[in-house]
Amino acid sequence: MTSEVSDDDIAAAADKMSVSTAESTDDGKKDPSTLKGMFAAMHLHSDGTNVMKETIKTFSNPFGSDKKDDIFVATKAEGIAKVKEMIDADRQKRKEDSKKYKRWDFRASPHEHFGMTLEDTYAAFVQWAKKENEESESPSDVEVAFNISKAFRRIESYADWMDDNAEEIVEAPLTADSVKEAWKAWGMKSTIDKNGNFVWWLDFKQLDRDAIKNKVPLKDSFRYMVWYAHFIMFNENAQNNGMLFIEAVAHAGFIECMTLVPMKLGAKLDRLTIGILPIKMKALYVLQSPGWMSIMSKFMSLFISKKMKERIHILEEFSEIENTVGKESVPMPFGELEGTLASDLIEAKHYS
């Protein structure tokens, strides 16, 4: 599945799924009832960004792909050394005052705040590029295969994204204290499940929507998401075992979900957390799913990879989550669950 989807491809797919346009999108308040109506509402609130196209690009294949002439190595140490060589080689092709040259300075990276080095950053991408058991076999002369070409492509995307957004990130040190108010407002939780996976929890009932929309500056929510992404990126369980994303949507409406933060910003953050973060998405679970989400999911399934489809699960019962992650890994509370963890990973490490 390619991520290069044209506007015509999107329009044609939408035509097959919708026969009429919702009548309630002009004022931006009532929810649309058809896919075309959703597109119209997204356009109204998108600030000129083709949100659907960007979303398809992000979700189409967040796992990356192996290519014919990719370079494989047997160990992570070899991989880190090779990544350094590839970055140096790329720099030598650029003018020193060019953006493509300066991106490799990683001036916006908050690795030092997390007690890490740039080498630790490279290691996260190398680990992400390790071949999984279900993937195609690596070259016969490589016992444990890390696809370093694939890792470099991902690092390149990360370097570009961080450099493009550097001014907001570096205007003040990106620390836990600097994003504390946004952390409170968003109410997201982080735990480790019974299988050692990192679990990212988002419960719409725990969101302080008034604070997110009216009290916490938008740039602070943005900075918080960047900080949170790096917290995950440097977590050993997330690197080695992968991540689950569990979301209780509380049957929230389309407009409410799409405008919690500006759509343009939401698409940009999705790109970082899903399309660039060097952590393998093991599964995405959605509970209390509203009707509009089913329509959108069916549409997105036309463009995303088989591997991604298999990892998206719309659940009816919260008990299924307890069975998946273990009762002892559920935050207190989450959706309809009482939960058992009063303090998640971030609170325990940075705010206790």
Is pLDDT above 90 for 343? no
pLDDT of residue 41: 85
The stretch 159-171 carries a mean pLDDT of 96
Percent of the residues in the chain that have a pLDDT greater than 70, as a whole number: 91
Query: What single DSSP character describes residue 331?
Result: B
pLDDT of residue 345: 96
pLDDT of residue 144: 63
pLDDT confidence of 105, banded at 50, 70, 90? very high
The stretch 86-103 carries a mean pLDDT of 97
Residue whose pair of structure tokens reads 């602070």 in the numeric block: 220
Dist. CA 185–CA 199, nearest whole Å? 19
Dist. CA 327–CA 339, nearest whole Å? 7
pLDDT of residue 18: 58
Output the six-digit token pair for 334. 């989450």
**H and E: helices and strands count for the chain:** 18, 7
| Residue that wins the pLDDT comparison between 31 and 155 | 155
The stretch 215-238 carries a mean pLDDT of 97
Q: Encode pLDDT of 124-156 as tens digits.
A: 999 999 986 544 444 445 466 999 999 999 999
What domains appear along the chain, each with residue ranges and CATH number? 177-351 (3.40.525.10)
Alpha carbons within 13 A on the beta-carbon side of 173: 7
User: 270, 216, 296, 266: which is closest to 45 by C-alpha?
Assistant: 266
Mean pLDDT of the chain: 88
Dist. CA 207–CA 229, nearest whole Å? 18
Query: What single DSSP character describes residue 104?
Result: G
Q: What is the SS3 assignment for 110-162? A: CHHHHCCCHHHHHHHHHHHCECCCCCCCCCCCCCCCEEHHHHHHHHHHHHHHH
Cα 272 off chain centre by: 6
pLDDT confidence of 19, banded at 50, 70, 90? very low
Q: Is the peptide bond before 139 cis (omega within 30 degrees of 0)?
A: no
pTM exceeds 0.95 for this model: no
Q: Encode pLDDT of 38-47 as tens digits.
A: 888 888 887 7
